[in-house]
Amino acid sequence: MASSRAEQAERTRAAVLDTARRLFAERGFDATSLQLIADTMGVQKANVYYYFRTKMAILEALLAANIAAFDVMLDEAARLSGPARRDLLVTVFVDQVVASRSLSPLSRTDPGLRRDGRLTEALEAQAARGLALLYGDEPTDEQRAAFLMATDVGPVVPRMKHLGDDELRTLLRDLCLRILDI
């Protein structure tokens, strides 16, 4: 019996995350409340609150796997050099974007993300590390601008809903490589 309760709890937690992911993509982070998540799920707000005390806690849970995977990739990229490093950085970044299409509209400059210092710090640290791996410790303004353009695909992804995952992956990878190859 305890196992079925644990399984039900995990299903409910996953449903909260899935619902929040969809609503964040459709309405934006700021326009999505815990009450809206609960209403969309057809449950009481207390059910959502039991698993996540804040919207930011939900967003952190949604992004945790992406952040961890990108940290691993940055470590791996640090062991490479030249085009192999750039290709790995771009490929893994694009794969993460495509795998989490619904969160792509949330860029590093999103006001909701900016309010959470820990999440912002983690994302900014990853961006700084990626920039340094691509261009060294003193990138030019042109290199910085290229990096920022290539890594902020938030406005692009929702407008490419007509593309399948493979098509989107190819499009973003090719564009990022062209932008970064300055």
| Averaged pLDDT for residues 119-134 | 90
Q: 62 falls in which pLDDT band (50, 70, 90)?
A: confident
Does residue 109 surpass a pLDDT of 70? Answer: no
Q: Where are the domains of the chain?
A: 1-53, 63-180
CB 62 within 8 A of CB 20: yes
The better pLDDT of the pair 95, 182 is held by: 95
Question: What is the assigned CATH class of domain 63-180?
Answer: mainly alpha
Question: 89 in helix, strand or coil?
Answer: helix
**Number of CB atoms found within 10 A of residue 128's CB:** 11
Collapsing DSSP to helix, strand or coil, 2 comes out as helix
pTM score: 0.77
Burial of 19 (0-12, 13-18, 19+ CB in 10 A): buried
If you search the block for the tokens 């303004």, which residue do you land on? 141
CA geometry: angle at 143 spanning 140 and 146, to 5°?
150
Which helix or strand (DSSP H or E) is residue 63 part of?
Answer: helix 55-78
Contacts of 90 (CB under 8 A, 6+ apart): 150, 173, 176, 177, 180
Q: Is the pLDDT of residue 164 over 90?
A: yes
Confidence at residue 132, expressed as pLDDT on a 0 to 100 scale: 97
Residue 105: pLDDT over 60? no
Nearest in space to 127 (alpha carbons), one of 1, 119, 162: 119
pLDDT above 90 coverage of the chain, percent? 61
Mean pLDDT, the chain, as a whole number?
Answer: 89
d(CA 93, CA 87): 10
| 76-104 pLDDT per residue, tens | 999 999 999 999 999 999 998 888 776 75
Q: How confident is the model at residue 1 (pLDDT cuts 50, 70, 90)?
A: low
In the structure encoding, which two tokens stand for residue 30, read together?
């700021």
How high is the pLDDT of residue 112?
A: 65
For 1-53, give the CATH class.
mainly alpha
Using left for φ > 0, alpha for ψ between -120 and 50, and beta otherwise, residue 106 falls in beta
Six token digits for residue 117: 């210092």
pLDDT (tens digit, 9 = 90+) per residue, 41-58? 999 999 999 999 999 899
